[in-house]
A and B are shown apart, each in its own frame.
Chain A
Amino acid sequence: MSMDFGEALREITADAAVATRPVDLERAQARMRRRRTQGAVLSSVGAAVGVVVLVVAVVLVGSRVTGDVAPVVPVVTDTPTPTATSAAEGALCGTPFALEEMDDPDIEVQGAVRVGTLDRETASFEWDITPADTLYISVGTTPDVPDGPWDDLHLSDVTTMLVDPDGTVAFWTDPAKQLQVEATDGSGGVAVDGLYEAVDCRTGRALTGTYRAYATTALDGAGGGETLELAPVSFEPGSGQMAGQWDDRVPACGRPAPADLLAGEVDADFDVTLDPGVLENVRKGLHADVTVTATGPDRLTGRVPQAFHAILVDRSGTVVSRLYDPTREEFDSAATFDVGQGESFPAEVYQWFASCPDESRYGNVRAGKYDLYVYTVILASSGPGTSPGPRVAVGGPFPVTLR
């Protein structure tokens, strides 16, 4: 006897329709409002003035350029041909930029710039395809301390720049230049926000080589905001982002924590410590500085992830929070590490304590007393010419009371 698979699917949807929550219309409308205003944020005269203020400010404030990346000189041939510019681009494109890091107490800027190609037929972006002709600027703001289910990174709040080895802006996220692409295959698909042609704004020619990337929310000239360096952007083949999710290498939510973790005997490559004071008033998530120390004999090099992760373990030894949010990407930071046994580097834990996906509710882990373990997979190389492999960084247990 054969199964009526269509009927089985209809039964599943009938169950799901009962179990699902009403569409959060307010959230959808809020997201649409944000995206609709995105195109107008910087095209006003006021914004242009703000851009000038920022550029002048950062140049005057300091010439410190952090990081140890040595960008490849972009190839520019023939006579530069100015491209059409928006009101603000004239102020920012081609101007010198020197990083003055700023930390906003209310927000956190996260993300990365990816290179790839845009399939206009399906309006889909495919990254790490060479030759790359499109940039995907997945950089936005989130709350400084994570406090709930993931919503989009607020892309419109951030201006991202690519800066050439001479220290001048070769590309920036001019809202007027953002690609608005609808699939030509009739599917009605619309390309994701944040796509731009990979073109040098000074010359109109394709970006090549490697650039430093910076993101800032401080464009209104009013002071404050957050400015930081992102992982460099390279158009060289095989130079894609390294960070990723390693579900099979981290403790699973809803299951007993690994015995070696509870016993403090994890064979980790890095030991993570933090100031217990940061755990005194934890509610739905944690954003804190940590110190990461190499434990093994090998010298390890790599790029520091933007976010280290952490899990909560209850008194029965069960993992009660998700380490990875499957809807959220992992990003590299601009910082690198090169450490031998006993040597350390700084990093940050940024973790929303999300309940396990197989529970009836979806949201924050309930208040109570737990043990917190920092647990992160880092990609690291153990020597020149060695391809990076996943290494585990572990810290804890740190007693914490979730309020």
Chain B
Amino acid sequence: MDERRRSDEVMAALASERGAALNAYAYLLTGDLRDAEDLVQDALVKTFIRGRHLELSSAEGYVRTAILTTWIDTYRRRRQWERVRHLLVKGERKDGPADEVAARSDVRAALGRLAPQQRACVVLRYYDDLTVSEIADRLGLADGTVKRYLSVAVGRLETLLGPLSPPATDRTILVNEGDVR
């Protein structure tokens, strides 16, 4: 029980000290502040539900991973439904417009045009500065799949935003204290 209490204390400290940064990170994926807050909620619960002992210094990394996996998991569930839906109903449904919530700037709008898997790869590549292999490990995908997602995503982003400079590929730091990450 003491372990669980310590775990809860770490969660409280993390939420207090790094909550804004976690919400901001989730926002890169969701494009909607309130959805980002909900995503962080889910990630915190998933990370600390077992009451396992985590140091505050490492807990943020676990929560960020949970943010990513929760986002992808939600997408996968939706995708499964979309994949079989045509078998069950007439093909009368039209695709919706791009995520209007995210369309407050060119970059936000461009991110909103990406599929969730592509978006996660882009965030990991350009924001977390992970390599393709590291992204593949993080998301449970093959390297080739990540390359394909990045290729399609970057192509789409460059169509909308112009050429992108290459990411810094050598850094693998997930949490960089002092900024909002």
Contacts and interface: CB of A to CB of B under 8 A. Distances in A.
B93 A17 contact: no
A295 interface: no
A388 B88 CA distance: 7
A1 B84 CA distance: 44
21 contacts: A3-B161, A5-B161, A6-B126, A9-B107, A13-B21, A13-B28, A17-B180, A20-B33, A21-B33, A24-B41, A25-B12, A25-B16, A31-B45, A123-B73, A124-B72, A124-B77, A188-B47, A189-B66, A238-B84, A240-B81, A390-B92
B140 interface: yes
B163 A32 contact: no
Interface string B69-111: 1101100110011011101111011111000110001011000
Given A126-B76, A358-B100, A183 B49 contact: no
A259 B141 CA distance: 47
Interface in A10-36: 10, 12-14, 16-25, 27-29, 31-32, 35-36
A167 B149 CA distance: 49
Given A23-B22, A186-B137, A187-B69, A12 B107 contact: yes
Contacts of B100: 358
A186 B138 CA distance: 8
A207 to B, nearest CB: 19
Contacts of B66: 188-190
Given A23-B41, A127-B80, A389-B90, A28 B69 contact: no
Nearest to A25: B15
B60 interface: no
Contacts of B85: 244
A110 B110 CA distance: 36
B55 interface: no
Interface residues of A, number: 67
Given A22-B15, A25-B11, A248-B93, 14 more contacts: A13-B24, A21-B23, A21-B33, A23-B44, A28-B41, A29-B8, A31-B41, A32-B8, A128-B81, A187-B137, A238-B87, A244-B81, A358-B100, A388-B89
A364 B162 CA distance: 40
B108 A12 contact: yes
B180 to A, nearest CB: 4
Interface string B1-36: 000000010011001100111111101100011111
Interface in A318-353: 326-327
Contacts of A125: 73, 77
B175 interface: no
A13 B100 CA distance: 18
Contacts, number: 213
B62 A16 contact: no
A247 interface: yes
Given A128-B81, A238-B88, A8 B21 contact: no
Nearest to B73: A124
A246 B96 CA distance: 9
Interface of A: 1-6, 8-10, 12-14, 16-25, 27-29, 31-32, 35-36, 116, 121-129, 149, 183, 185-190, 192, 238, 240-242, 244, 246-249, 326-327, 357-358, 362, 379, 387-390
A6 B93 contact: no
B175 to A, nearest CB: 13
Contact of B162 (A3, A185, A249): A3
B73 A13 contact: no
Contact of A358 (B21, B68, B101): B101
A13 B181 contact: yes
A316 to B, nearest CB: 20
Nearest to A389: B90
A362 B34 contact: yes
Query: Counting chain A CB atoms within 10 Å of each CB, which of B19, B27, B101, B140 scores highest?
Result: B140
